[in-house]
Amino acid sequence: MITPNFSKHLKKFSKLSDADIQTISSASKVLKPCKKEMLLRQGEVCRSNYFVEKGCLRLYFVNDKGNEHIIQFAIENWWISDYSSFTRGNASEFYIQAVEDSVVVVLTKTVQDQLLTDIPVLEHYFRQMFQLAYAATQNRLMFMHGLSKENRYLHFSSLFPDFIQRIPQYMLASYLGFTPEYLSELRKKLS
């Protein structure tokens, strides 16, 4: 089933025909995970790629001290998966969880591979998605290693002012690489 945002997104980044979009629609499914619902747990094989139609998902791991470290958020019009596990079929090191009640389009590995064979122009779409995701990862690494904690927060909040209001502050702290207590102190200092 294809959703409105997914259809627009496919058309924006590719030259898919209406027939191609119908084929993708028939092959995909839609899930509506509730807030805090797990889509993937550490140790499972990631068999799906998720497009966020509405809501927010997060990809995170838990370190040996029991602390969560958020690697990625996916909001509307973003893809999320454990691409290592999805591609190789190995056990995942990550969790994927709904941060909000969400609507996601799901392509299983088998379905996605078949669609890429049947609709070659879809390769172009996914290449663009991976390039955008890789660029976002590079930018995140640059600001994680190149900016002070305070500037990291200021930079992120200037880029995504609405987003930081949507997510719990402890998750924002995890994503930015500091403790919730530090984030609370920093926000008080800056207000």
Query: pLDDT tens for residues 91-123?
Result: 999 999 999 999 999 999 999 999 999 999 999
The structure's pTM equals 0.93
**Number of domains observed in the structure of the chain:** 1
Could you list the residue range(s) of the whole structural domain that residue 65 is in? Answer: 4-121
* Per-residue model confidence (pLDDT) at position 87: 95
- Whether residue 83 is contained in a domain is answered as yes
Q: Which residues in the chain belong to E strands, given as ranges?
A: 29-31, 38-40, 48-54, 57-62, 68-74, 79-80, 95-98, 103-108
We report the CATH number of the domain holding residue 50 as 2.60.120.10
Q: Are 103 and 37 in contact (CB under 8 A)?
A: no
Cβ pair 3, 11 in contact under 8 A: no
Q: Is residue 176 part of a domain?
A: no
Q: Is residue 183 part of a domain?
A: no
Q: Is residue 85 part of a domain?
A: yes
Q: To 10 degrees, what angle do helices 4-13 and 18-27 make?
A: 130
Write out pLDDT tens, residues 16-26.
998 999 999 99
Q: How confident is the model at residue 3 (pLDDT cuts 50, 70, 90)?
A: confident
138 located within any domain: no
Give domain status of residue 170, yes or no.
Answer: no
| Residue 152, domain member (yes or no) | no
DSSP per-residue string spanning 117-145: HH-THHHHHHHHHHHHHHHHHHHHHHHHH
pLDDT of 5 higher than 90: no
Residue 48 lies in a domain: yes
Mean pLDDT for all residues in the chain: 94
